Structures are given as C-alpha cells and as structure tokens.
Amino acid sequence: MVTTVTSLGRSGLSDWMIQRISAWVMTAYLAFIVVYFIGNPDLSYAQWAELNSSLPMRMFSLITILSIAAHAWIGMWCVLTDYITVRLIGPKATAIRIFFQLGMIAVTLLYVIWAIDILWGI
Amino acid sequence: MDNKRPVNLDIGTIKLPITSYVSILHRVSGVVLFFAVGIFLWMLESSLASEQSFNDLGAKLSNPVCQFIIWGSLAALAYHAVAGIRHLIMDFGVGEDSFYAGRNSAWAAVVLSVVVIALLTWWIL
C-alpha cells in the first residue's frame, strides 16, 4: 500500500468513487453555465456579478472548484504514477515523480484558494 | 521491485483499437485541463472584478492569440466532458457488457465531441 501514499483517497476504490462524484458535480456546473450563456447572449456585468454573488451560486461554484481539485489530484496522480516510473525513465523516476506530484498538489490548492478569493471578493 | 523482469506488453508495437485512442486522448485532455483551469479562473476573476475589467476581458477575447488559447482549452474541456459522460453512462451498466458496445460508444464519443468542438469554434468566431 506504500505506492498509494500520495493518492487522494488512499485507496483505489475511494479514488474511483471521488472521481465519479466530482465528475457529476462538474457536469452539472458545465451544463448550467452552457445553458446560462445560451440563454443570455448579451450578458451584462451587473447580471453576471449578481448571479455569482448570490449564495446558491457561490456554493455551487465552491463545490465545483473542490470537485475540480479532487478530480485533478486523482487524475494527475494516475498519469504521473503510470508514466514517470523507474521502468520508463530510469532510476531517478521516483524523485522526479515526487517533485511533479508536490507541484501538482501545490497548484491544485492554489486554484482552490484563488477561486474562493474570486467568489467572495465580488 | 525487480527491474530485470521481462516486459512482454510493448504498447508501441501493438495495433490499438479506437477505445484505446479515446482513452489516451481522455488522459491528454485531462492534463491540458489541469493547466486550463488557471485560464478559466483568470477569466472568471477578470469578468467579476469590476465592470471595467469585464469590458477589458471582452476586448482581450477578440485577440486571435487569446481566442486560440481559449479555443484549445474549451476543446479539451468538450472532449474530456463527452468522454467522461461515456464513463458515467457505463457506470449504470449501459454499453459495458461487450467490446463491441465499448467500441461503438467510443466512436459515438468521437463524433459527438467533433460536433461540440465545431459548434464551439463557430461560437468563438
């Protein structure tokens, strides 16, 4: 189980479940935004700011960015642990992979903080 | 781990089915999206900071270089979403009972994402 120490859910089944739930949340958000943009082709700043500063939309956006973070963490973990391996790129692979994994986690957390800053700064 | 074990599955020498390409492209678009999230957040921030920055963003989005970057990001999103929804449908036991069903839904995902990306291109231009 040592190899899964940097995965989000610490188990494949847990990661699978989080990946599915976050996918549904993001699909719902994407569907909402697409319908909203089609329904409001001449969107004004006032209307857009009003929508995004309402509590339900802030909550929806917050749950979506948390889903993006979890989904990206799990997805990038899969890609990095599949391709940056000792078999594929040699003995330095583990150090390189840990570097990229930490970078990925840092960027993911920065995205979440940035999104909260945007949404509650309107 | 014993690194001297032979590797028999050399993926580079194997002719891959459409399902493999759909899967590989799902991964590639996912990695692209990891960076595109930064672009989307920058657009969200610019559109919400003030009326001035909202209008400035509109002006920036008419720049061809900006348009191309956003087109690429949205195309990756469209493909990843379509291929992802294919998996979500399969979770309900639909189309995952045979290789042929998987191959058909893989082709459906390719066709649908091409249509969505075409609509997207038309919307941006």
Q: Which residue segments constitute the domains of chain B, with CATH numbers given?
A: 16-124 (1.20.1300.10)
The per-residue pLDDT for range B64-75, each reduced to its tens digit, is: 999 999 999 999
User: How many angstroms separate the CA of residue A87 from the nearest CA in chain B?
Assistant: 7
ipTM above 0.90, yes or no: yes
With respect to residue A5, please indicate whether it lies within any of the assigned structural domains.
no
With respect to residue A63, please indicate whether it lies within any of the assigned structural domains.
yes
- Of A11-15, A35-39, B95-99, the range with the highest mean pLDDT is A35-39
For residue B111, count CB atoms less than 10 angstroms from its CB and return exposed for 0-12, middle for 13-18, buried for 19 or more: exposed
| Cβ count near B66 (within 10 Å) | 15
Of B34, B51, B85, the CB nearest to A76: B34
Concatenate the DSSP letters of all residues of B20-58 into one string.
HHHHHHHHHHHHHHHHHHHHHHHHHHHHHH-HHHHHHHH
**Both ends of chain B: CA-CA distance in Å?**
53
Contact A27 B3 (CB under 8 A): no
Domain that holds residue A111: 10-40+51-119
With respect to residue A3, please indicate whether it lies within any of the assigned structural domains.
no
Task: Give how many domains chain A has, as a whole number.
Answer: 1
The per-residue pLDDT for range A76-109, each reduced to its tens digit, is: 999 999 999 988 888 999 999 999 999 999 999 9
Mean pLDDT for chain A overall: 93
Q: At which residue do the structure tokens 């329904």 appear? A: A39
Interface test with chain B among A118, A119, A120, A122, by most B beta carbons within 10 Å: A118
Residue B1 has pLDDT above 60, yes or no: no
Q: Tell me if A29 sits within 8 A of A22, measured CB to CB.
A: no
In this prediction, residues B96-125 reach a mean pLDDT of 92
Residue A28 has pLDDT above 50, yes or no: yes
Chain B residues touching A115 at Cβ < 8 A:
41, 44
What distance in Å separates the CA atoms of residue A56 and residue A62, rounded to the nearest whole number?
Answer: 10
Contact A68 B37 (CB under 8 A): yes
From B71, B57, B63, select the one nearest B122 (Cα to Cα). Answer: B71
CATH code assigned at A71:
1.20.1300.10
With respect to residue A14, please indicate whether it lies within any of the assigned structural domains.
yes
Confidence of residue A3 (pLDDT cuts 50, 70, 90): low
Determine the pLDDT at residue A8: 86
Of B27, B47, B77, the CB nearest to A48: B47
With respect to residue A1, please indicate whether it lies within any of the assigned structural domains.
no
Task: Report chain A residues touching chain B, CB-CB < 8 A.
Answer: 20, 23-24, 26-27, 30, 45-46, 48-49, 52, 68, 72, 75-76, 78-79, 86-87, 104, 107, 111, 114-115, 118, 121-122
Determine the pLDDT at residue A1: 44
Determine the pLDDT at residue B15: 85
Determine the pLDDT at residue A108: 97
With respect to residue A46, please indicate whether it lies within any of the assigned structural domains.
no
Confidence of residue A18 (pLDDT cuts 50, 70, 90): very high
User: How many angstroms separate the CA of residue B49 from the nearest CA in chain A?
Assistant: 6
Give the count of Cβ contacts less than 8 A between chain A and B.
61
Contact A86 B47 (CB under 8 A): no
Among A98-102, B55-59, B94-98, the least confident range: B94-98
Determine the pLDDT at residue A4: 67
User: How many angstroms separate the CA of residue B100 from the nearest CA in chain A?
Assistant: 24
Chain B residues touching A114 at Cβ < 8 A:
41, 45
Q: At what angle do helices B51-60 and B18-49 cross, to 10 degrees?
A: 140
Mean pLDDT for chain B overall: 91
